[in-house]
A and B are shown apart, each in its own frame.
Chain A
Amino acid sequence: AQSVSQHNHHVILSEAASLELGCNYSYGGTVNLFWYVQYPGQHLQLLLKYFSGDPLVKGIKGFEAEFIKSKFSFNLRKPSVQWSDTAEYFCAVTPPGNAGNMLTFGGGTRLMVKP
């Protein structure tokens, strides 16, 4: 079974600071990787995803993530955060190929950006 860990549970940054959220997964095969964002009181929104190809993927709102296979990592980055990025961020994985495969989520990282 796959598992996902997010190293930082809470991160506090000032506006314009750079962001990197760690995500490591454990799975004995190919995985599809995702980052979702959950703004306060809202549902999960897809930020970006990786299936194959270029390991550096760009998502919405200036976010990007890099898949490093040798490290089983899929860290999320943003060069300059804004107050509106305050939210909880979830890394998630699923095995590819079959419909209906569950997403396994990391524990989430709660980001607070100070204006």
Chain B
Amino acid sequence: AAGVIQSPRHLIKEKRETATLKCYPIPRHDTVYWYQQGPGQDPQFLISFYEKMQSDKGSIPDRFSAQQFSDYHSELNMSSLELGDSALYFCASSLLKEGQETQYFGPGTRLLVL
């Protein structure tokens, strides 16, 4: 079965640079989520989109922005990168059905900021 696709899988940037992470949800899924997982930590929710509208917002820095496009893929834009932004960024997708939804995670983008 098709899974969530994220690109790139690895990214190295320098401080103050920008980065764009992409997420392609499972076909027919209408909701995408972004999570950040620091070393040895559990995933922290950043933001989610349902039908191209922002649905829920977590601890996403103002330097980050995201959107969901008409084909349901999503992009996380990160500007003025800091060393502390080095982490694994997961995208998840889901389909709300009869009040139930399950989030399926992609392989993640490992971002290293030098």
Q: Give the interface of A toward B (CB within 8 A).
A: 32, 34, 36, 42-46, 49, 51, 90, 94, 96-108
> Measured between C-beta atoms, what is the minimum distance from A5 to chain B in Å?
11
A90 touches B42 (CB 8 A): yes
B42 touches A99 (CB 8 A): no
Per-residue A-contact encoding for B39-67, CB less than 8 Å = 1, 0 else: 00011010011110001101000000000
What residues of chain B lie closer than 8 Å to A42, measured between beta carbons?
A: 107
Within 8 A of A (CB), among B63-114: 90, 92, 94, 96, 99-108
B48 touches A44 (CB 8 A): no
In the complex, A42 Cα to B92 Cα: how many Å? 14
> Measured between C-beta atoms, what is the minimum distance from A60 to chain B in Å?
13
What residues of chain B lie closer than 8 Å to A94, measured between beta carbons?
A: 103
What residues of chain B lie closer than 8 Å to A45, measured between beta carbons?
A: 105
Per-residue A-contact encoding for B10-52, CB less than 8 Å = 1, 0 else: 0000000000000000000011010100000011010011110
What residues of chain A lie closer than 8 Å to B58, measured between beta carbons?
A: 102
A44 touches B90 (CB 8 A): yes
In the complex, A42 Cα to B27 Cα: how many Å? 22
Q: Give the interface of B toward A (CB within 8 A).
A: 30-31, 33, 35, 42-43, 45, 48-51, 55-56, 58, 90, 92, 94, 96, 99-108
What residues of chain A lie closer than 8 Å to B51, measured between beta carbons?
A: 99
A100-B100 in contact given A44-B105, A105-B43 (Cβ < 8 Å) = no
17 other A-B residue contacts (CB within 8 Å) besides A34-B103, A107-B42: A42-B107, A43-B90, A44-B92, A45-B105, A46-B104, A49-B102, A51-B100, A99-B30, A99-B50, A100-B31, A100-B48, A100-B50, A101-B55, A102-B58, A103-B43, A105-B42, A106-B42
A102-B42 in contact given A43-B90, A44-B105 (Cβ < 8 Å) = no
Interface centre among A42, A46, A103, A104 (most CB of B within 10 A): A103
Residue of A43, A99, A104, A108 touching B31 (CB-CB under 8 A): A99
